[in-house]
Amino acid sequence: MVSIAVSKTAGQGSNPCARAYERKNMKVINYVKESYYEFRDHVTWPSWATLQQDTIIVAIATVILALFLYAVDSLFGNFVIKHLFELLR
């Protein structure tokens, strides 16, 4: 009877870096798989109508904020040009 030694590192030799690299790759693959299943099965996605309403609200808020920042920038710019440069003369 011939006994054959079975190694847990068959095909990898005795290189610990290769084993660590494979474990790291398996962790990444498992993470991606688990994330996919989490998104598919456990996340409650908004309806199309809710998504459209929220998009409109964000767009309106963005326009209002842009107008406010434009007004503040214009007023501050005019103030600096008129008053600060007069003080430097």
Highest mean pLDDT of the ranges 5-9, 59-63, 83-87:
59-63
Contact by Cβ (8 Å): 12, 18: yes
Indicate if the pLDDT at residue 1 is higher than 60.
no
Highest mean pLDDT of the ranges 43-52, 56-65, 69-78:
56-65
Alpha-carbon gap, residue 87 to 79, rounded angstroms: 12
- pLDDT for the residue 78: 82
pLDDT digits over 48-59, tens only? Answer: 999 999 999 999
What percent of the chain has a predicted confidence (pLDDT) above 90?
38
**pTM for this prediction:** 0.52
Q: Is the dihedral of CA 6, 8, 13, 14 positive or negative?
A: negative
Indicate if the pLDDT at residue 6 is higher than 70.
no
Contact by Cβ (8 Å): 30, 36: no
